[in-house]
Amino acid sequence: MYKSGINNGNYKCSGKKTGFLEDVTVSENKYLGADNYLMKVFSENVKKQVTNPKAGQFYMLKLRNHIRILRRPISLHSVNFKTGELEFLYKVIGKGTEELSILQKGSILNIQGPLGKGFDIYKKSENIIVIGGGIGLAPLKQLIKELLKYKENKNIIFIAGGRNKEAMNILENFLLDSKRVSTFICTDDGSLGEKLNIAEMLEKILKNNKNPDIIYSCGPDKALKAVNDIVNRKNILSQISMEERMACGVGACVGCSVETVSGMRKVCHDGPVFYSSIFYENRGEINGN
């Protein structure tokens, strides 16, 4: 159990630190179109560097409706360590995310995190590819920020896909003005960028460029399976951020386990970011489908 109030200490599970619980204050919760929202919150834990969230990690957000007792996992979209601001980019798909969408400026939200293993950051590369589809773009803003911190990362190719132009409004908040980032947009209906899915866009880019040092991706299951197939076939180092329905979010309930070449792995604890190669023999079986 936790006490309410800012910075109320560690949450412990099996004697191991599993994350922090904190009441944060919503400073903005803006509709971006296509059921997507951008929520900004102030975190005392981040400001005081009690927590140090990294790209690819996630938070479990508590709902107020006591019937929906399970928290909802949402990725870190961006963090500002100077101001203590955390950003979450989320899509309303059910009752839980709908409840998040009605939070107003000044609302208090209880968050648990940062949780899970994030992306391994490359520090020196000729070419990196970052791929996101739909709301899978959420963790990639922070990822690109962290990659850009290293001047030795010369070129980042960012492939962003979505259903249509409206769904791509989420890119407005991505700060993509660095000369080192080349952005390729694709949509299912061709209303913005090329009429391709993200895996097709990746194939096209790989045809015209030499293989990158690493590929990072996050997106819908089907797209991730296709990307995984490509990178494993071409033997390119790659990390993917996986999604599974979560109950505890801290490795206690095994509810989020997925099959890999080396046995079952918990997405919340061993991931959500994994090296693609661990799914190689299970091609087509990401998420256990």
Ligand X SMILES: Cc1cc2nc3c(=O)[nH]c(=O)nc-3n(C[C@H](O)[C@H](O)[C@H](O)COP(=O)(O)OP(=O)(O)OC[C@H]3O[C@@H](n4cnc5c(N)ncnc54)[C@H](O)[C@@H]3O)c2cc1C
When the beta carbons of 206 and 225 are compared against ligand X, the nearer one is 225
Residue 62 lies near ligand FES (rule: CB under 6 A):
no
Residue 174 lies near ligand X (rule: CB under 6 A):
no
How far, in Å, CA of 129 to CA of 78, rounded? Answer: 19
Q: Do residues 223 and 161 make contact, with C-beta atoms less than 8 angstroms apart? A: yes
How far, in Å, CA of 153 to CA of 66, rounded? Answer: 47
Q: Copy the structure tokens of residue 287.
A: 């998420």
When the beta carbons of 14 and 104 are compared against ligand FES, the nearer one is 14
When the beta carbons of 46 and 236 are compared against ligand X, the nearer one is 46
Residue 247 lies near ligand FES (rule: CB under 6 A):
yes
Minimal CA–CA distance to 75: which of 61, 56, 96? 56
Residue 252 lies near ligand FES (rule: CB under 6 A):
yes
**Secondary structure in 3-state letters for 177-234:** CCCCEEEEEEECCCCCCECCCHHHHHHHHHHHCCCCCEEEEECCHHHHHHHHHHHHHC
215 touches, from ligand X, ligand FES, none (C-beta below 5 to 8 Å by class):
none
When the beta carbons of 36 and 241 are compared against ligand FES, the nearer one is 241
When the beta carbons of 77 and 266 are compared against ligand FES, the nearer one is 266
Sign of the Cα torsion 238, 244, 246, 251 reads: negative
When the beta carbons of 180 and 245 are compared against ligand FES, the nearer one is 245
Count other Cβ atoms within 10 Å, centred on residue 124.
10
Task: State the nearest-atom distance from the C-beta of 5 to ligand X, in Å.
Answer: 25
Q: Residue 180 carries which side chain, given as an amino acid letter?
A: R
Residue 181 lies near ligand FES (rule: CB under 6 A):
no
Q: Do residues 149 and 174 make contact, with C-beta atoms less than 8 angstroms apart? A: no
193 touches, from ligand X, ligand FES, none (C-beta below 5 to 8 Å by class):
none
Binding mask 258-277 for ligand X (x = CB under 6 A): --------------x-----
Among the listed residues 132, 249, 271, 272, the single contact to ligand FES using CB under 6 A: 249
Binding mask 239-258 for ligand X (x = CB under 6 A): ----xxxx------------
DSSP SS3 for 256: coil
Binding site for ligand X (CB under 6 A): 58, 72-75, 89-91, 93-97, 135, 138, 243-246, 272
